[in-house]
Amino acid sequence: MSEDTRNLSDDMLDNTKEGVDKAIDSVSEKTNEVVNKTKDAFDSAKDKASELADDASEKLNEFTDTAKETYSEAKVKASEFAHEAGEKLDELTDAAKEKASHLAEDAKETYTETKAKAKEFAGEASEKMNEFAGDAKEKASKFADAAEDKLEDLAEDAKETYTEAKGFFQKLFGKK
Question: Is a pLDDT exceeding 80 seen at residue 156?
Answer: yes
Mean of the per-residue pLDDT values of the chain: 84
Distance between the two ends of the chain, CA-based, in angstroms? 206
Domain assignment present for residue 7? The answer is no
Give a three-class secondary structure readout of 22-34: HHHHHHHHHHHHH
**Global pTM exceeds 0.85:** no
In a domain, 92, yes or no: yes
Q: Residue 67: its pLDDT value, please?
A: 83
Q: Specify if 112 maps to a domain.
A: yes
Q: How many domains does the chain have?
A: 1
In a domain, 114, yes or no: yes
Q: Write down the pLDDT at residue 154.
A: 92
pLDDT in tens, 116-134: 888 887 888 788 887 777 8
Residue 176 has pLDDT above 60, yes or no: no
| 99: containing domain | 70-118+126-147
Task: Tell me if 58 is assigned to some domain.
Answer: no
If you count them, how many residues does the chain have?
A: 176
Residue 138 lies in a domain: yes
Return the pLDDT at 80: 83
pLDDT digits (tens, 9 = 90+) for 72-96: 888 888 888 788 888 888 888 888 8
Q: Is residue 110 part of a domain?
A: yes
- pLDDT confidence tier of residue 159, bands split at 50, 70 and 90: very high
pLDDT above 90: percentage of residues in the chain: 6
Q: What is the DSSP letter of 174?
A: T
For residue 145, which amino acid is it?
D
Residue 107: phi, psi to the nearest 5? Answer: -65, -40
pLDDT (tens digit per residue) in 25-41: 888 888 888 888 888 88
